């Protein structure tokens, strides 16, 4: 039986998400050109990546440094299926998610038993090996030059490759996944994951099958990352191996931290910064890493709840002050 | 053994020594804070780049450039601890690890913005580039690397086993609260650990750069390979770090010499994954990993 306050909290969160999502759809109407519209699609992809990583790191406490690898696995699987075997992008996307789930089980089964740091380094190792394979297996992946000629999505006879059509499609997919994640956070499984975050032992004592839950959330998060990868590949119609290196995994973790670990709204801020900052710093050459580094130190050191947590604190402080005023 | 094999073994021992030095740095900080230090590799990079700067732009002799770069990196390590790590409100190992990720990004981009993106290098410590040992032609710098690493390892061993300060650091690593009760200040221990680890990293960078060149983005890869070496030998053990580094270096050069050099960078991480799955305590470490 779910406590009433959790149901209320969930309903409020879902209605906020709905309002936000309706507001977001006007983006193609108010932006000046196609470039800005495709920036919106890039934001959705980053949001999927950061939200799924937040599910792992923030909610369950599993530090994965292989998120870029699973993103790349999705992008390359769907891309290679389309380029080498002529598979339609829709099937390719499903295939990408399947392959990613399979790899998650193979990687997760032995490594999820390891605690904290060891898991981080094992996943980092996987990502490094993945990067080397991407540049090494030239006949499959195109090597350092990347994989070219990936087709866009098509819907019947309809062309879905215009930036606005892509935006609407990705808007729908991302919205549905975020909605599902909001249900997961308040469900029995979501609460079990939170317990695992506080203590494996406590969770096991409460009868939660710890390893099975960890494996489940690992598969789920990596499948979402692979979906984001397929969306990325068919939007850009080109993938390059250096996008999926472990530096990207580390940057994604930085974004989760800046947004706020385990906060539902955290990834929205993280994805916003991750998408917008490279654009804003284009005039100040190459200084984005500097800003990311400083932001990481400041947020983790002095604002551990991230932007989302900081805003929540501010809100509760204001609402506490109001009655006395 | 033919000269070719001997040559490959020497070059493997050379890079292995570098991994060993990096691994020792990892271990020292891991022991005193419980955090994984992502800056370790960036310190190696800084050592190489600063030495190149001293040699190319200030026209110092090579040995002086290396020494000054090592001291400068040690200083940077100390300042990092004093001004970025110590003031943190949240001192859990996980938070510290994340902060070192931030510091690593910061160091990398500061070096890139101030000293540029181009790979830099300088000649080795001796004027002759190669010597002949048993018919094999070996880079003289490799011999320097082996000698310097062995000396540094011996000094580290003496420091931790026989000096008062070293014993205090070991005590604080074993049990911070008990150590604090007998008057060992934990903040000073962490400070010394950062200085020591940065000095190790910086010197490793200065002696490897003549062989491989150094650029601002080379730090992460070196750091993670050093970490793999530390894991292989057993996290927290000095001899483990030495053995792990040498084994990893040898494996890398043997595989790229006799099988294929295409996947050379993946090998260290494959070893890391195998060690984590099969023997998380490493070759020489004691089991302390919690398994479910």
Summarize the confidence of residues B72-76 as an average pLDDT.
94
As a whole number of angstroms, the distance between CA A156 and CA A320 comes to 55
Residues written for chain B: 292
Q: What is the pLDDT of residue A1?
A: 53
Q: Please enumerate in sequence order all residues whose Cβ is within 8 A of that of A30, keeping only pairs 6 or more positions apart, or say none.
A: none
Task: For residue A27, give the nearest of A275, A278, A311 by alpha carbon.
Answer: A275
Enumerate the residues of chain B whose CB falls inside 8 A of the CB of residue A135.
Answer: none
Cβ(A230)–Cβ(A62) below 8 Å: no
Res B291 pLDDT > 70: no
Other Cβ atoms less than 10 A from the Cβ of B124: the count is 21
Q: What is the pLDDT of residue A105?
A: 92
DSSP string over B144-192: HHHHHHHHHHHHHHHHHHHSHHHHHHHHHHH-HHHHHHTT--HHHHHHH
Q: What is the pLDDT of residue B59?
A: 84
Interface test with A, best of B29, B100, B101 (most A CBs within 10 A): B101
| Distance of residue A126 Cα from the nearest chain B Cα, in angstroms | 7
Lowest model confidence (mean pLDDT) among B12-26, B64-78, B119-133:
B119-133
* 3-state secondary structure (DSSP) of residue A305: coil
* 3-state secondary structure (DSSP) of residue B58: coil
Cβ(A54)–Cβ(A256) below 8 Å: yes
As a whole number of angstroms, the distance between CA B52 and CA B214 comes to 9
Q: Cβ of A287 and B109 within 8 Å?
A: yes
- In angstroms, the Cα distances linking A23 to A33, A171, A183, A284 are 19, 11, 21, 31
pLDDT bracket for residue B290 (50, 70, 90): very low
Enumerate the residues of chain B whose CB falls inside 8 A of the CB of residue A292.
Answer: 102, 105
Q: Cβ of A113 and B291 within 8 Å?
A: yes
Q: What is the pLDDT of residue A102?
A: 94
Interface test with B, best of A139, A253, A289 (most B CBs within 10 A): A289
Q: What ipTM was estimated for this complex?
A: 0.82
Exposure string of B63-102, with b = 16+ CB inside 10 Å and e = fewer, is eebbbbbbebbbebbbebbeebbeebeebeebbbbbbbbb
Task: For residue A145, give the nearest of A80, A242, A74, A231 by alpha carbon.
Answer: A242
As a whole number of angstroms, the distance between CA A309 and CA A312 comes to 5
Summarize the confidence of residues B224-238 as an average pLDDT.
85
Q: What is the pLDDT of residue B292?
A: 45
Sign of the CA dihedral running A140, A146, A148, A151? positive
Res B260 pLDDT > 80: no
pLDDT under 50 in chain A at which residues? 325
| Distance of residue B89 Cα from the nearest chain A Cα, in angstroms | 6
Summarize the confidence of residues B113-121 as an average pLDDT.
86
Res B287 pLDDT > 60: no
Q: pTM of the prediction?
A: 0.87
Mean of pLDDT over chain B: 86
Q: Does B93 touch chain A (CB under 8 A)?
A: yes
As a whole number of angstroms, the distance between CA A48 and CA A249 comes to 14
Q: Cβ of B89 and A113 within 8 Å?
A: no
Q: What is the pLDDT of residue B88?
A: 80
Q: What is the pLDDT of residue A10?
A: 73
B positions 245-284 inside 8 Å of A (CB): 262-263, 265-266, 268-270, 272-273, 276-277, 280
CA A184 to chain centre: 15
Q: Please enumerate in sequence order all residues whose Cβ is within 8 A of that of A164, keeping only pairs 6 or more positions apart, or say none.
A: A28, A34, A37
Task: For residue A133, give the nearest of B267, B250, B258 by alpha carbon.
Answer: B267
Q: What is the pLDDT of residue A325?
A: 43
As a whole number of angstroms, the distance between CA A304 and CA A312 comes to 13
Q: Which of B99, B104, B263 sits opposite A301 (nearest CB)?
A: B99
* 3-state secondary structure (DSSP) of residue B282: coil
Enumerate the residues of chain A whose CB falls inside 8 A of the CB of residue B221.
Answer: 128
């Amino acid at each position: 039986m779910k406590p009433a306050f959790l149901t209320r909290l969930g309903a409020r969160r879902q209605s906020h998400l709905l309002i936000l999502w309706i507001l977001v759809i006007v983006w193609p109407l108010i932006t000046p050109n196609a470039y800005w519209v495709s920036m919106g699609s890039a934001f959705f992809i980053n949001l999927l990546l950061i939200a799924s990583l937040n599910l792992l790191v923030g909610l369950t406490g599993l530090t994965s440094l292989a998120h870029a690898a699973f993103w790349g696995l999705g992008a390359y699987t769907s891309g290679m299926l389309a380029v080498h075997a002529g598979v339609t992008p829709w099937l390719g996307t499903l295939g990408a998610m399947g392959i990613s789930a399979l790899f998650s089980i193979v990687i997760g089964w032995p490594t999820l038993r390891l605690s904290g740091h060891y898991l981080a380094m094992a996943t980092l190792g996987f990502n490094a090996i993945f990067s080397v394979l991407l540049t090494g297996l030239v006949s499959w992946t195109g090597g350092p030059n990347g994989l070219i000629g990936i087709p866009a999505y098509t819907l019947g006879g309809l062309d879905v490759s215009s930036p606005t059509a892509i935006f609407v499609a990705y808007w729908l997919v991302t919205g549905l996944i975020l909605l599902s994640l909001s249900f997961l956070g308040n469900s029995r499984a979501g609460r079990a994951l939170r317990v695992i975050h506080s203590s494996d032992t406590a969770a096991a004592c409460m009868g939660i099958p710890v390893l099975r839950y960890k494996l489940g959330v690992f598969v789920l998060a990596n499948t979402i990352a692979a979906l984001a990868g397929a969306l990325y590949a068919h939007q850009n119609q080109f993938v390059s191996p250096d996008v999926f290196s472990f530096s990207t995994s580390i940057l994604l973790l930085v974004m989760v931290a800046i947004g706020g670990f385990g906060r539902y709204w955290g990834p929205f801020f993280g994805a916003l910064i991750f998408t917008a900052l490279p654009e804003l710093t284009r005039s100040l050459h190459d200084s984005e890493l500097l800003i990311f580094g400083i932001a990481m130190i400041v947020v983790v050191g002095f604002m551990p709840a991230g932007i989302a947590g900081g805003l929540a604190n501010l809100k509760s402080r204001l609402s506490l002050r109001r009655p006395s005023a | 053994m033919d000269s070719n094999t001997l040559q490959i073994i020497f070059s493997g021992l050379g890079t292995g020594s570098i991994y060993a030095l990096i691994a020792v740095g990892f271990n020292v900080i891991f022991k005193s804070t419980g955090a994984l230090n992502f800056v370790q590799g960036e310190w190696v990079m800084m050592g190489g780049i600063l030495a190149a700067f001293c040699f190319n732009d200030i026209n110092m002799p090579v040995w002086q450039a290396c020494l000054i770069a090592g001291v400068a990196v040690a200083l940077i390590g100390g300042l990092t601890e004093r001004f970025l790590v110590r003031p943190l409100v949240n001192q859990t190992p996980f938070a510290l690890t994340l902060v070192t990720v931030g510091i690593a990004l910061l160091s990398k981009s500061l070096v890139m913005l101030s000293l540029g993106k181009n790979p830099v290098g300088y000649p080795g410590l001796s004027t002759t580039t190669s010597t002949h040992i048993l018919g094999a032609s070996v880079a003289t710098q490799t011999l320097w690397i082996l000698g310097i690493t062995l000396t540094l390892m011996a000094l580290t061993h003496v420091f931790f086993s026989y000096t008062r300060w070293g014993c205090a650091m070991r005590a604080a690593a074993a049990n911070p609260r008990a150590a604090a009760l007998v008057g060992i200040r934990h903040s000073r221990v962490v400070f010394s650990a950062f200085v020591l680890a940065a000095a190790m990293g910086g010197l490793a960078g200065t002696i490897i750069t003549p062989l491989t060149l150094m650029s601002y983005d080379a730090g992460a890869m070196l750091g993670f390979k050093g970490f793999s070496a530390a894991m292989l030998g057993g996290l927290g053990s000095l001899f483990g770090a030495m053995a792990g580094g040498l084994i990893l270096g040898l494996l890398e050069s043997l595989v790229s010499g006799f099988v294929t050099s295409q996947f050379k960078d993946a090998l260290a991480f494959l070893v890391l994954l195998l060690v984590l799955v099969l023997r998380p305590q490493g070759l020489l470490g004691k089991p302390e990993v919690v398994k479910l």
